[in-house]
């Protein structure tokens, strides 16, 4: 049945026109006149040409009148990201890096750089940009059936007056709280590499309206934003003061508790007081083979207090479920190395939009030494590292990542031992689509932070109830057949067939198998990520209902532990 449905999807009518980005290049050429240069190698770059299409173009299914409310990205903002300057010899590697720099900017949907014939026998760079709608009510959400677990609404201008600055007011709604806040980011202060950013929010109880806490961050520095700079630094700090309630589905997690009075339940609710600051200096070596070495100094104060009034229950929560309270001052060294071998691919996660992948190996790791002080008595050494290898051949993309970490304490058992691994494979296209496979494992031992993984619903095991399974360890597999999308007026709709298998556990693995169908919608005028809508059911389980529907932005394999990319 699955094979027949997949074949039928592949037979659906697909637009036979040039792809979306190629059509934009044709439009860009029409703005300046020069023809494409088929042999730019060895020629001098004479000039940089920039074409920025309105957010609502002729082929887009929205009224062009909306362009009145959108300030196009200024040419200067585009030019400062260009790595190839007039008077230099055409370098395809710097051209590709220019595209990567531009695609990383949130307010740009499409970035293409092509060579065109120069006026004096050389070559000109034509940079073609497609803006995303910048003044927007952006959103991030998690919906499982009728239960809206999380919703963030942000009225944000991500490209203020065309200069790339971000200004926002936002609200974040959870099952127990709502937050109101603001954000400002200037990533290129006065067109330099200087970065300035800050955010702050007030957190209120949804039931009573009482103020429960605040959170925010501030950052300033001159980070390394491409392959050229040799030095970079960042100073940042953040705080999070709030009451935290852990939910399973629509209710607070009730933990079974037994004492001499009998059996009862204890809600997993506690107060959080987190403050952290760090200053980091980075030296970057090489260009084709990159080595970034960083040194940092910082500290944190993390305090977690149960809200239950019973002293014994509070001590039990602290020992088994709450993160470790501690004050820490530390110094840290970290290194990251990789070959600057990048490939631009399409139809991976974002359909017709180009995606950048670093191929080959990547190694990173470091050590953190926490030294005792009167106000921060913690004393330990933490080590962590990760390795990734990404392989592309015959239109098959395979990535394997392994990460590990531990904390060494004088005279005590090694703590916070963690090992995680992920394999992601995108098959060559067949029947018009791709088979995408992801396998993920995450194991912990002697975890001082008592981190619990909640699996179910939109967290990777689609078709189960929200947060149905819990444990300190996890195994998860996702297999999807993603049919080739259909284009409707510069938007894309795709159908997905999926199979998930997984378990969250402490000691014994008990696998749950699910399957289902989903839809992916790409609206490049609004977002580079697809909108994911999935409906699944448990194989051998009860009949599915509306509560098995879940929706969010991004593909399912975007849900992964941050530990794989930042093991320390």
More confident residue, 327 or 21: 327
Average pLDDT estimate for 467-479: 92
> Which range is least confidently modeled, 41-45, 118-122, 148-152, 532-536?
148-152
Asked whether residue 363 is assigned to any structural domain, the reply reads no
In contact, 72 and 152? CB cutoff 8 Å: no
Cα 270 to Cα 494: distance, rounded to the nearest angstrom: 42
Residue 11 in this model has a pLDDT that exceeds 50: no
Mean pLDDT (the chain) is 86
Cα 564 to Cα 404: distance, rounded to the nearest angstrom: 8
Asked whether residue 416 is assigned to any structural domain, the reply reads no
Asked whether residue 438 is assigned to any structural domain, the reply reads no
Asked whether residue 67 is assigned to any structural domain, the reply reads yes
Cα-only R_g, the chain: 25
At residue 417, the pLDDT reads: 96
Q: Counting every residue, how long is the chain?
A: 568
> Which range is least confidently modeled, 288-292, 456-460, 535-539?
456-460
As for how many domains the chain has, the answer is 1
Cα 522 to Cα 60: distance, rounded to the nearest angstrom: 13
CB neighbours of residue 515 within 10 Å: 17
Residue 287 in this model has a pLDDT that exceeds 90: no
Residues 252-281: pLDDT tens digits? 889 998 887 778 899 999 999 999 999 999
**From start to end of 409-511, where are the E strands?**
415-426, 434-445, 453-455, 469-471, 473-482, 486-488, 491-505
- The band of 7, judged by pLDDT with boundaries at 50, 70 and 90, is very low
Cα 516 to Cα 534: distance, rounded to the nearest angstrom: 7
Asked whether residue 27 is assigned to any structural domain, the reply reads yes
**Residue with structure tokens 């990159």?**
290
Average pLDDT estimate for 338-360: 89
User: From the centroid of its chain, how far is CA 333?
Assistant: 25
More confident residue, 21 or 389: 389
Furthest CA-CA distance within the chain: 91
Asked whether residue 428 is assigned to any structural domain, the reply reads no
Strand partners of residue 499:
479, 515
Q: What percentage of residues in the chain have a pLDDT greater than 90?
A: 47
Asked whether residue 352 is assigned to any structural domain, the reply reads no
The CATH number covering residue 57 comes to: 3.10.20.310
Residue 1 in this model has a pLDDT that exceeds 60: no
Average pLDDT estimate for 432-443: 94
Owning domain of residue 102: 19-131
Asked whether residue 24 is assigned to any structural domain, the reply reads yes
- The band of 80, judged by pLDDT with boundaries at 50, 70 and 90, is confident
Two tokens, residue 22 = 């190629």
Cα 196 to Cα 219: distance, rounded to the nearest angstrom: 6
At residue 135, the pLDDT reads: 61
Q: According to the per-residue pLDDT averaged within each range, which of 162-171, 295-304, 556-565 is highest?
A: 295-304
pTM for this entry = 0.78
CA atoms within 13 A on the CB side of 33: 2
| Cα dihedral: 336, 340, 341, 343 (round 10) | 100
In contact, 208 and 196? CB cutoff 8 Å: no
Q: According to the per-residue pLDDT averaged within each range, which of 34-43, 99-108, 267-276 is highest?
A: 267-276
**From start to end of 175-268, where are the E strands?**
177-186, 195-205, 211-222, 231-245, 247-248, 251-252, 254-259, 262-267
In contact, 348 and 397? CB cutoff 8 Å: yes
CB neighbours of residue 85 within 10 Å: 11
At residue 161, the pLDDT reads: 65
């Amino acid at each position: 049945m699955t094979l027949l449905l997949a074949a039928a999807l592949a037979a659906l009518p697909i637009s036979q026109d040039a792809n979306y980005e190629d059509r934009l290049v044709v439009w860009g050429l029409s703005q300046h006149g020069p023809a494409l240069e088929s042999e730019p190698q060895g020629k001098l770059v004479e000039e940089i040409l920039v074409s920025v299409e309105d957010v609502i173009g002729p082929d887009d299914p929205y009224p062009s009148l909306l362009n009145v409310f959108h300030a196009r990205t200024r040419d200067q903002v585009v030019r400062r990201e260009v790595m190839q300057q007039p008077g230099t010899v055409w370098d395809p590697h710097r051209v590709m890096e220019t595209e990567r720099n531009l695609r990383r900017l949130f307010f740009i949907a499409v970035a293409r750089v092509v060579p065109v014939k120069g006026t004096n026998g050389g070559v000109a760079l034509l940079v073609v940009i497609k803006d995303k709608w910048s003044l927007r009510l952006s959103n991030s959400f998690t919906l499982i059936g009728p239960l809206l677990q999380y919703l963030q609404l942000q009225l944000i201008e991500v490209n203020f007056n065309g200069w790339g600055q971000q200004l926002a007011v936002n609200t974040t709604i959870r099952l127990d709280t709502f937050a109101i806040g603001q954000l400002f980011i200037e990533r290129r202060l006065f067109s330099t590499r200087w970065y300035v950013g800050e955010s702050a929010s007030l957190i209120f109880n949804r039931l009573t309206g009482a103020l429960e806490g605040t959170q925010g961050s501030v950052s300033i520095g001159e980070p390394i934003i491409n392959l050229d700079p040799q030095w970079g630094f960042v100073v940042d700090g953040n705080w999070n003061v709030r009451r935290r309630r852990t939910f399973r589905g629509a209710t607070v997690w009730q933990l079974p508790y037994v004492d001499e009075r009998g059996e009862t339940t204890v809600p997993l609710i506690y107060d959080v007081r987190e403050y952290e600051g760090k200053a980091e200096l980075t030296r970057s070596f090489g260009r084709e083979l990159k080595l970034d070495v960083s040194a940092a100094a910082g500290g944190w104060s993390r305090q977690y207090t149960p809200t239950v009034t019973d002293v014994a229950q509070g001590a039990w929560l602290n020992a088994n479920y709450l993160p470790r309270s501690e004050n820490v001052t530390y110094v840290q060294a970290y290194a990251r190395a990789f070959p600057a071998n990048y490939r631009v691919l399409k139809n991976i996660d974002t359909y017709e939009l180009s995606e950048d992948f670093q191929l080959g190996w990547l190694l990173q790791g470091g050590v953190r030494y926490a030294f005792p002080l009167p106000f921060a008595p913690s004393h330990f050494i933490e080590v962590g590292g990760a390795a990734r290898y990404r392989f592309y051949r015959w239109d098959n993309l395979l990535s394997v990542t392994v990460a590990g970490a531990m904390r060494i304490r004088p005279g005590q058992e090694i703590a916070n031992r963690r090992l995680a691994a992920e394999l992601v494979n995108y098959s060559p296209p067949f029947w018009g689509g791709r088979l995408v496979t992801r396998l993920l494992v995450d194991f912990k031992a002697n975890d001082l932070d008592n981190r619990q993984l909640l699996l179910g619903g939109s967290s990777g095991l689609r078709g189960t109830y929200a947060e149905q399974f819990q444990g300190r360890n996890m195994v998860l597999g996702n297999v999807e057949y993603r049919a080739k999308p259909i284009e409707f007026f510069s938007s894309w709709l795709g159908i997905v067939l999926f199979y998930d298998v997984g378990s969250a556990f402490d000691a014994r693995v008990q696998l749950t198998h699910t399957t289902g169908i989903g839809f992916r919608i790409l609206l490049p005028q609004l977002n580079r990520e697809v909108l994911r809508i999935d409906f699944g059911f448990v194989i051998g389980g009860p009949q599915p209902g509306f509560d098995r529907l879940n929706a969010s932005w991004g593909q399912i394999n975007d849900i992964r532990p941050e530990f794989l990319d930042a093991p320390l």
